[in-house]
Structure 1
Amino acid sequence: MAIEIKICGLSTEETLDAALDAGVDVVGLVSFPKSPRHVAPERAAALAERARGRGRIALLTVDADDALLAELVAAVSPDILQLHGDESPERIKTLKRRYGSEIWKAVPLSTREDLAGAEPFWETADRVLFDAKPPKGSELPGGNGVAFDWGLIVDLDPKRRFVLSGGLTPETVTEAVTATRAPAVDVSSGVESAPGVKDPELIAAFVRAARSAAS
């Protein structure tokens, strides 16, 4: 099966190029000041322009208001809006009408009961991104290096368009894809040498492992 690979939280030309040269499908730019991967709008715009035509561009936000989203979309022209806050299905419908971009909605998982949180988004978002619930006290909705129990989604309807995230690494992505049959994977901290510092070698290793699992 084919698999879509996204590297999130890219913030330098070197690591952006490393991801695209490794063959990733989607590069992710984070707009969330509390994150070590945050890039300001003008920086995001420069990175997006460098990536355009080489891979799809995702813009990650957390409960961004209309003014901030308008500024970011104007700067980045993303292919994908990746929403990691408390955005409602109605909010997603509004943003799809307004911007016409693909929308991925993050749903954090810890227990089987959490799967119910995805239900309202199967019909409104283009993809549901399953991530681990953040550790207690964390201010980051993602990028915490925490995995959830993949067994929670092994029985998911194979027609569901989802993205597997949460603590993936070059060492675990093969097992994760095999177990869940994920059509897409998203990694951030799992290819870093320090918080917010992407490692080109880990990026390449992750891509190789994910492609191997999907072949």
Structure 2
Amino acid sequence: MKYPDNIVELGTLLPDYMGFIFWDKSSRYFNGQIPELPKSIKKTGVFVNETVENIVQKVLQYDLQAVQLHGKESVAFCAELRKSLLKNIEIIKVFSILDTFDFAVLEPFELVCDYFLFDTKGKLPGGNGTTFDWKVLQQYPSSKPFFLSGGIGPEELEAVSEILKTNLPVHAIDVNSKFEIEPGLKNITLCNDAIHHIATIKQ
């Protein structure tokens, strides 16, 4: 999210999370003020290879409830960040997938992260607008809940529904570029439709 009026309008739909990108190379880079939002929405800071000190500073400045690590952060880095943050701040570690993935790399992260996020490997750390082969997730060996991300748009919602019906521990669906009018500006109608669609499947 990037624009105050759009942030407020989307907030009325009560998504579980709302993301703010603090990576200055992103077209969605956020450096404004976050308007007042319903308390149920977890404000999430997205960081790429940032320092622990800067992440903690942004968490305090913007009263974030979650941080999403979208770079090459190590297990040691996540552990240090966990010690530096309040216990109720969620840590979401992103892993990029294309056609295959070695799920063994996740195991050491399980103790230092609250959630994983699986995105599509592309030229940018995120927002590439393409999906990965979701069949790879059938090999997911963990009970750690994860976010499903990567090029999810209105056309993919039926396929997402099928994944939600499986035993995979999907915690949330992360949507971004295919629900935008321009980078950082969300199409409220499309977002509303997606939220209602996913809510119906979860019932």
TM-score range, shorter chain: 0.7 to 0.9
Contact 1:178–1:213 (Cα < 8 Å) also in 2: no
Query: Is the Cα–Cα contact under 8 Å of residues 28 and 59 in structure 1 kept in the other structure?
Result: yes
**What SS does structure 2 have at the residue aligned with 1:51?**
coil
CA contact (8 A) 1:145 1:166 kept: yes
The match for 1:198 is 186
1:109 aligns with 2:97: yes
Could you say which structure has the greater relative contact order, defined with CA pairs below 8 angstroms and 6 or more residues apart? 1
Q: Which amino acid aligns with 1:184?
A: A
- Whether 2:62 is the aligned partner of 1:62: answer no
Residue 79 of structure 2 is matched in structure 1 by 93
Q: Which residue of 2 aligns with 1:178?
A: 162
Aligned to 2:131: 147
* Cα-to-partner distance string for 1:142-194 (whole Å, 9 max, x where unaligned): 11111111111134347221110101112212322422542311111121123
Q: State TM-score, norm by structure 2.
A: 0.88
Cα gap change, 1:71/1:84 in structure 2, threshold over 3 Å: closer, same or farther?
Answer: same
**8 Å Cα contact 1:174/1:212 also seen in 2:** no
**Counterpart in the other structure of 1:79:** 65
The question of 1:15 aligning with 2:1 is answered no
SS of the counterpart of 2:135?
Answer: helix
For residues 85-139 of structure 1, the C-alpha deviation after alignment (integer angstroms, 9 at most, x for no partner) is 11111111111111122100000011333433323322221000000101xxx3x
- Using the alignment, how far apart are the partners of 1:157 and 1:174 within structure 2? 24
Secondary structure at the aligned position of 2:105 is classed as: helix
Three-state SS of the structure 2 residue aligned to 1:50 is coil
Look up the equivalent residue of 2:45 and give its one-letter code.
Answer: L
The answer to whether the 8 Å contact 1:154/1:179 transfers is: no
Matched, 1:187 2:175: yes
For this pair of structures, how many residues does the alignment match?
A: 197
Long gaps (5+) in structure 2? none
Matched, 1:38 2:24: no
CA drift of 1:197 comes to 2.5
Which whole-Å CA distance do the structure 2 matches of 1:31 and 1:62 have between them?
8
The residue aligned with 1:131 is: 119
Aligned residue for 1:116, secondary structure, equals: helix
Say which of 108, 118, 122 aligns to 1:120.
108
Matched position secondary structure for 2:12:
helix
CA RMSD after TM alignment: 1.9
Shift of 1:36: 1.1
- Indicate whether 1:24 and 2:31 are aligned: no
What's 1:3 paired with?
none
Paired with 1:17 and 1:189, the residues of 2 have a C-alpha distance of 19
Aligned partners of 1:67 and 1:94: how far apart in 2? 10
- Counterparts in 2 of 1:210 and 1:73: CA distance versus 1, 3 Å: same
Separation of aligned partners in 2, 1:24 and 1:147:
22
User: Which shows bigger deviation, 170-179 or 146-155?
Assistant: 170-179
